[in-house]
Amino acid sequence: MSDGQELLTSALTQRAGVFRVTEKAEKDSDSACVPGSKQRFFRAQGNFQRPGSQSPGTAAGLVRSALLVMNYDQLVDDLDFRDEDLSVVVLHKPESAVTFMVATRNTEPNILIVGKTDCFKPEE
């Protein structure tokens, strides 16, 4: 899932925060799939680029914009889940069967990004 690395190197995402990758989508997981199917996860977390002057909504909006530039379709946004201290956006790209969930909050780590593939049958 190279979209995870592309997302983190995006200028928009870098304006949102400073990140570290915690899972690189290099191994298959079958935890949420039907038997015989797998999926992969990309996970990153970080803190606001400008602590004290950024809100969860602003940071989520920057990452959301980066995903829109990458041709992801928005499924859930801040208006669907309204909270001053927490923002959540979910975007999906049908062509690559990848979904990203971005959660931003006032507590550290401020930004959590999870990308996951749809379940797929591994090549034999």
Strand order, beta sheet including 17-24: 17-24, 41-48, 111-117, 98-105, 86-93, 73-76
For residue 6, the tally of other CB atoms under 10 A from its CB is 14
Q: What integer best gives the mean pLDDT of the chain?
A: 90
Question: pLDDT tens, 92-106?
Answer: 999 999 999 999 999
pTM beyond 0.95: the answer is no
Alpha-carbon distance of 28 to 13, in angstroms, equals 26
